[in-house]
Copies of this chain bind each other. A is one copy, B any other.
Amino acid sequence: MPAEAKTAAKAAQSPVRAAQPVTPPLTERQEARRRRILHASAQLASRGGFDAVQMREVAESSQVALGTLYRYFPSKVHLLVATMQDQLAHMHGTLRKKPPAGDTAAQRVAETLMRAFRALQREPHLADAMVRALTFADRSVSPEVDQVSRQTTVIILDAMGLDDPTPAQLSAVRVIEHTWHSALITWLSGRASIAQVKIDIETVCRLIDLTSPEDRPPSPAP
């Protein structure tokens, strides 16, 4: 049993930087199947978003029986969250190569998120599928969602250049993540403009200066 669920469950306990799960030995063909499935999922999602990812179609596209698909990913939401993990890993790689160049931590985080946002704008349907799955996920997907959250946290902390955040900073990072997800949703459902998302990201990033005033004096012009 490939067992995504079990797999990620193990990783869902220690704080920020948790280890990758102990990969339960996957045959080469199984690894290939898994990749095919994730690829098909991303492809269908890119076309028509959440609704377009239909389990029967994913199964067909990836040349796998429906039952097998469900063995690898126990639900549609699991599948899409895994797809998101996949894409996030990509993005993290990309970001690592060209780190953000702002002067303050807040600027770098905002720049990082805006870069990610622009990437999502190129595939709005895919973004829709992944984000909707993420926020719709119930407790049974918590371990996987948590993993996504942890990965996002790492990306933000990287941008801040922090290794050992205080509780206050962790809270600020959580608030930034909250804003990030929720702002994405309002944008995806057409209730907020791109400009608004940008402003809100910049606004929330100001919290960083508030929790670590070492980087630059926070007080605005009087």
Contact = CB atoms under 8 A, between A and B. Distances in A.
B136 A191 contact: no
Query: Chain A interface residue count: which class?
Result: 35 or more
A172 B203 contact: yes
Number of copies: 2
Contacts of A167: 199
A196 B177 CA distance: 14
Contact of A138 (B183, B189, B200): B189
Interface string A180-222: 0111011001111000100110011011001101000011100
Contacts of A141: 189
Interface string A137-176: 1110110011001000000000000000001100110110
Contacts of A136: 132, 135-136
Interface in A22-64: 50
A104 interface: no
A175 B191 contact: no
Contacts of A132: 135-136, 138
A192 B219 CA distance: 32
A171 B200 contact: yes
Contacts of A181: 178, 182
Given A145-B189, A174-B203, 4 more contacts: A139-B190, A171-B199, A178-B178, A213-B220
Interface of A: 50, 132, 135-139, 141-142, 145-146, 149, 167-168, 171-172, 174-175, 177-179, 181-183, 185-186, 189-192, 196, 199-200, 203-204, 206-207, 210-211, 213, 218-220
